[in-house]
Amino acid sequence: MPHNTVAVVGAAETTELGVIPNLSQLGLHADAAINAMADCGLKPKDIDGIACAANETPVNLAHYLGITPTWIDGTSVGGCSFMIHVRHAAAAIESGLAKTILITHGESGKSRIGNPARAVHPQSLNGQFEQPFGPMGPPSMFTIPVLRYMKTYGVTEEQIAQVAVVQREWAAKNPRATFRTPITTADVLSSRMIAYPFRLLMCCLVTDGGGALILTSAERAKDFPTKPVYILGTGESAETPLVSQMEDFTSSRAFRVAGPTAFKEAGIAHKDVDHLMIYDAFAHLPIYGLEDLGFLPKGEAAAYIAGRNTAPGGPLPLNTNGGGLSYMHSGMYGMYALQESVRQMRGTAAAQIPDAKISVCHGVGGMFAASGTIIFSNQAP
């Protein structure tokens, strides 16, 4: 049964994106939250539910923003936490636990003000069975399965580079994107090697920013000044904190659970999708996502992207804000993907897809550790 009894009525990013030296991480959360409340004409007293992910807590945000919640959610499973917050918030509103829920994100990923570096504890599973072998953060871990994928399906470095090229084309249309200058496959393949086969331009940005969403019932949504964006379907899952222990290096189990769960709940088919966001911390993620969500058979997504099917003018517009590769990426990108889906459904995106009615927004957490999928529609239930 579709979830379309709940809608997004408020949505905003931080006033600025990029390098923001004048706000702490908590301040970025608040800046986005205040912008989202202003977007839909609400005050803190109107909010009765609050969700956010590490390194803040819903307690911190309730206090800082002056909110008295009847529902809180601190789910923190990496960059898809916000998709999962939306899922939990929709269920909470449907079941009457809260009426108006604020989901916030702020991250001082570049300036690192009020954002402590997260160390891997040497007694953790990661600390014992991965960290001793020299990984240093996502660029050297998220990428480890990819050579196996490339060998299995005969995918080339040139095809992976094309993901970055196409997303830069989308970013070029977006005044808020960090990187807007067009790039070529040769540019990507001559950029600095980070973790073979991944080069700099196949890796996401590191920036500061934030975003916030406000959800309420579809019935109440009619009374708001903004165009309601309905939640049709949702999914979530988790696999492993250890990238070395993924069941299948060519596919994410968490994707294969979260995505189809959302499609089934929404009651839609892939051909119904007008707009797609797939969290792209690295250039291989849209490839895995297109296949694991069922848009394409295994092994075909790289050629599909290289064939310009997801580029401007193509049949399946993907990562239309420029994505984590070119728009912005503060560390946990999922909130920015959700914001672009909402803009596309409102008809206010910088690179607006004409007449788009259904948007799928798919997130990853950790290194293929977790996943969340949200399907939006701008059609009233």
Partner 1 sequence: MATPGRALPQPTPETQFFWDGTKANQLLLQRCDECSKVYFPPRPFCPVCASRNVSVTKASGKGVLYSYVIHHRPVPGFTPPYAIAVVELAEGPRMMTNIVECEQTPQALVLDMPVEVVFEPQTDTITLPFFRPASTQSAKG
Binding site for partner 1 (CB under 8 A): 120, 122-123, 125, 127-136, 139-141, 143-148, 151, 192-198, 242, 244-245, 249
Q: What angle do CA 73, 83, 269 make, to 5 degrees?
A: 140
Output the smallest distance, CB 158 to partner 1, in A.
15
Output the smallest distance, CB 142 to partner 1, in A.
9
Our CB check for partner 1 shows the closer of 59 and 147 to be 147
Peptide bond into 135 cis (omega under 30): no
C-alpha 228: how far from chain center: 20
Output the smallest distance, CB 146 to partner 1, in A.
7
Output the smallest distance, CB 121 to partner 1, in A.
8
For residues 292 and 251, the answer to whether their CB atoms sit within 8 Å is: yes
Question: Is beta strand 229-238 parallel, antiparallel or unpaired with respect to 100-108?
Answer: unpaired
Neighbour count for residue 251 (Cβ, 10 Å): 18
For residues 373 and 257, the answer to whether their CB atoms sit within 8 Å is: no
Neighbour count for residue 89 (Cβ, 10 Å): 29
For residues 178 and 337, the answer to whether their CB atoms sit within 8 Å is: no
Our CB check for partner 1 shows the closer of 166 and 202 to be 202
Block residue for tokens 């990426």? 329
Output the smallest distance, CB 367 to partner 1, in A.
12
Our CB check for partner 1 shows the closer of 59 and 196 to be 196
- Six token digits for residue 280: 């792209």
Our CB check for partner 1 shows the closer of 38 and 147 to be 147
Our CB check for partner 1 shows the closer of 218 and 285 to be 285
Our CB check for partner 1 shows the closer of 33 and 370 to be 370
Residue 217: its H or E element: strand 208-217
Output the smallest distance, CB 241 to partner 1, in A.
11
Helices 58-65 and 25-40: angle between axes, nearest 10 degrees: 60
